Structure 1
Amino acid sequence: MSLVLDPAAQDLLFREARTANTFTDEPVTEEQVQAIYDLVKYGPTAFNQSPLRVVLVRSAEARERLIPHMAEGNQAKTASAPLVAILAADNEFHEELPSLFPHFPQAKDVFFAERPAREQAAGLNAALQAAYFIVGIRAAGLAAGPMTGFDFAGVQKEFLDGDHTPLMIVNIGKPGEGASFPRSPRLAYDEVITTV
């Protein structure tokens, strides 16, 4: 095997991990979410920028505000998931760069002075961080149910502001009965990889 990571860990993170559509009622604790973030914050991004922002939807009142913005097929599973996270890109992430990138403090002014450049960088790098977040959920022995089937403008208005762009909503918990659909095929190595 060419991979250093233990085969059981490979299965946990990738081969056996599945998107969950049902969950048990076992709660997801604050400590679990903290451990997930403390692991995945080290995933690489450009300039070490950290534009991902996560809103944890825990209260019944917040859940009631979120459900109407979900696509019909995503409402029931979002209503019943132990924890729901709204993942968003902070388009003003550059204000944190001097502390995150101390050897080049002027990076925020050199590269990110214009809002369109910031939005593009925030979207790409927050999406990378969102992927790390999903893998971190799996590393915690939990299942993730990431979704983009929701009213983006409605979620932004209800939970965020004009400086934060929603990326996805992730249901989190222990998988329940019949949690996942049959695995869809994936492209083979020679369909994806080209050597020049």
Structure 2
Amino acid sequence: MSLALDPAAQDLLFREARTANTFTDEPVTDEQVQAIYDLVKYGPTAFNQSPLRVVLVRSDEARARLVKHMAEGNQPKTSTAPLVAILATDNEFHEELPALLPHFPQAKDAFFSERPVRESAATLNGALQAAYFIVGVRAAGLAAGPMTGFDAAGIEKEFLDGDHSVLMVVNIGKPGEDAWFPRLPRLAYDEVVTTV
């Protein structure tokens, strides 16, 4: 059975898309990032939660502060990517729920009054939004290099506050020379899907 999305778009978003490890020096504009966000903000989350927060690292000073918290293998690519985004969750996202859920105003207090519940919801739904963000970067004709190899406490202290938790750091730009590692295998349909 064919998909509604044409094969070229399927390739752009999934089959041919890869994690980039090198980038050209072509800049990534604020307009491109806004177009990405304005597309992916519609991805589904539970109760329309929107805990994702994005910190764009552009200045040399901020980049140096970030690089020191990255794992050794991630430092060179983070140093040279045209744009780096810190994707984090806002653990106080529930404060915005009345505006996002006008038909269900009690959601803010009914489900999210306890901090551990909010943090769990923020992590799950923020991770969903982060995945949409990566696909959105690809839809913009850019490459994404998402990474989780970093000192989370260091990044949070340097760039966030106590109400935010870092999920991942994403290098963004046009792929450079030798940008890709060899494609690794994925599980086959029959290894993943069961019917009951």
TM-score normalised by L of structure 2: 0.99
Q: Does 1:183 align with 2:183?
A: yes
User: 2:12: which partner in 1?
Assistant: 12
Q: Does 1:45 align with 2:45?
A: yes
State the SS of the aligned residue for 1:84: strand
Q: Name the amino acid aligned to 1:79.
A: S
State the alpha-carbon separation in 2 of the partners of residues 68 and 29 from structure 1. Answer: 25
Deviation string 1:10-36 (CA, Å, 9 cap, x unpaired) is 000000000000000000000000000
User: 1:155: which partner in 2?
Assistant: 155
State the SS of the aligned residue for 1:39: helix
User: 2:95: which partner in 1?
Assistant: 95
Which runs of 5 or more structure 2 residues have no equivalent in the other structure? none
State the alpha-carbon separation in 2 of the partners of residues 121 and 147 from structure 1. Answer: 21
Q: Report the identity percentage.
A: 85
Matches within 5 A, 1:13-28: 13-28=13-28
State the alpha-carbon separation in 1 of the partners of residues 35 and 183 from structure 2. Answer: 28
What's the offset of the Cα at 1:142?
0.1
State the alpha-carbon separation in 2 of the partners of residues 183 and 167 from structure 1. Answer: 24
What's the offset of the Cα at 1:171?
0.1
Q: Does 1:69 align with 2:53?
A: no
State the alpha-carbon separation in 2 of the partners of residues 25 and 40 from structure 1. Answer: 25
Hey, which bits of structure 1, 4+ residues long, moved more than 6 A? none
What's the offset of the Cα at 1:2?
2.2
State the SS of the aligned residue for 1:25: coil
State the SS of the aligned residue for 2:68: helix
Q: Name the amino acid aligned to 2:157.
A: K
Q: Name the amino acid aligned to 1:103.
A: H
State the alpha-carbon separation in 2 of the partners of residues 122 and 108 from structure 1. Answer: 13
User: 1:133: which partner in 2?
Assistant: 133
User: 2:36: which partner in 1?
Assistant: 36
State the alpha-carbon separation in 1 of the partners of residues 194 and 183 from structure 2. Answer: 25
State the SS of the aligned residue for 2:179: coil
Count of residues in Structure 1 that have an aligned counterpart in Structure 2: 196
State the alpha-carbon separation in 1 of the partners of residues 105 and 99 from structure 2. Answer: 8
State the alpha-carbon separation in 2 of the partners of residues 13 and 7 from structure 1. Answer: 10
State the alpha-carbon separation in 2 of the partners of residues 64 and 182 from structure 1. Answer: 29
